Structures are given as structure tokens and as C-alpha cells.
Amino acid sequence: MFKERSALIVWVSDLKQAKNLERYGNIHYISKKMQYVVMYMNAAGLEDTTKAMQKLSFVKKIEPSMRGEIKTEYNSNVPDKTSFYSY
């Protein structure tokens, strides 16, 4: 039902032309200060799409997002100290 998605960070030299990246995937965020675009696309055609985007004149560098590899479940081995301070 849901397709596998992956995120890319695309560093651009011109923000006006960065809107043209919408045909390759969904643009999630555009940073005006640092001039990069965060976009999501289907993981099935990721390599072909990145090669096509790399050929664009305003694209400097394309990096895969590491958000999927970051651990988001945390556990605490430290005991709860609030019971020591109760009256």
C-alpha cells in the first residue's frame, strides 16, 4: 500500500531554480540561508533520479538523509530519583 520512501538533501546554487526539483519528488523544506532542499522520493528509482538531478546546472551536491538510521527508541538504565525526594 505504502511505497518505500527515502529522503535526500540537495545542495543548490540558485533557489529560484530549486522549485524545478518538484518533478523528481516531494519537496519538504527549502533553506534560504544555507541553500539546500530536503525532498522525499520513491526508493525504487532513487539511483536513476539522483543521476538525472546531478546533471542539472544548479545542483552542487546530493546527500542521502541519515534520519532513517538514527535510533529513535530510547531506554533509561538510570533509576528514577524522584522517589528519594518525596516527603
Q: Domain segments of the chain: what residues?
A: 5-66
Q: What is the pLDDT of residues 12-67, one digit of tens each?
A: 999 999 989 999 999 999 999 999 999 999 989 899 999 999 999 999 999 998 88
* β-bridge pairing 5-12 and 26-31: unpaired
Please state which CATH number belongs to domain 5-66. Answer: 3.30.70.80
**Residue 38 confidence (pLDDT):** 95
Q: What is the strand order of the sheet 36-42 is part of?
A: 26-31, 36-42, 5-12, 59-64
